[in-house]
A and B are shown apart, each in its own frame.
Chain A
Amino acid sequence: QSALTQPASVSGSPGQSITISCTGTSSDVGSYNLVSWYQQHPGKAPKLMIYEVTKRPSGVSDRFSGSKSDNTASLTISGLQAEDEADYYCCSYAGTRTWVFGGGTKLVVL
């Protein structure tokens, strides 16, 4: 149950687009289209932003989108806004009835 690999931080200016990667293995990300993404502001509970790789829950802005290629999933945020500054975590079903999170990425809006 090794954690998925995410960059420690990414940054972008308002209006720009950024992409956060999430690399796993053929046993988790590569085997299942069951990757989800979470946004977490300081001191707050995580919020679901993307599930099943590409789907957005009701109420989540369409500026957030997800994709996957082989063992790597990605979260793209377009039209970056100040309120997007937060920590982002990916999560994948890892088989054998377990889940695994990524180490988290701090998004800085310049």
Chain B
Amino acid sequence: EVQLVESGGGLIQPGGSLRLSCAASGFTVSGSYMSWVRQAPGKGLEWVSVIYMGGSTDHADSVKGRFTISRDNSKNTLYLQMNSLRVEDTAVYYCARILAWGMDVWGQGTTVSVSS
């Protein structure tokens, strides 16, 4: 079964760091485009980051320089390293597989709360 399971969310103070994980099963992250998407409480979806099959990455302007997407092919796991966290980064973070330019498989989401 094709599946994504996120973990690593939690409560963190502004300025802190957190690393989210997304374990894949049923397919390989190295053979796919993978993305992180977030959703602030009561708000819409916001694209955050993408990693391509070749390993190159891109990030939304709102997180550029603070967040880094990466993957561990041996663990078939996607990561999002989040540094210098801000209150406005509070959201449910989803990982998703991109197939044919659509995000066809999503995880259940992990909640990040940034508050003092």
Contacts and interface: CB of A to CB of B under 8 A. Distances in A.
Q: Which of the four size classes fits the interface of chain A?
A: 20 to 34
B106 A45 contact: yes
Contacts, number: 68
Interface in A79-106: 87, 89, 91, 93, 96-104
A3 interface: yes
A57 B102 contact: yes
A39 to B, nearest CB: 11
Q: Which DSSP category, helix, strand, loop or mixed, fits chain B's interface?
A: strand
Q: Which of the four size classes fits the interface of chain B?
A: 20 to 34
B60 A46 contact: no
B35 interface: yes
Interface in B31-83: 35, 37, 44-47, 50, 52, 56, 58, 60-62
Interface of B: 35, 37, 44-47, 50, 52, 56, 58, 60-62, 94, 96, 99-104, 106-109
A1 interface: yes
A34 interface: yes
A87 B43 CA distance: 11
B58 A36 contact: no
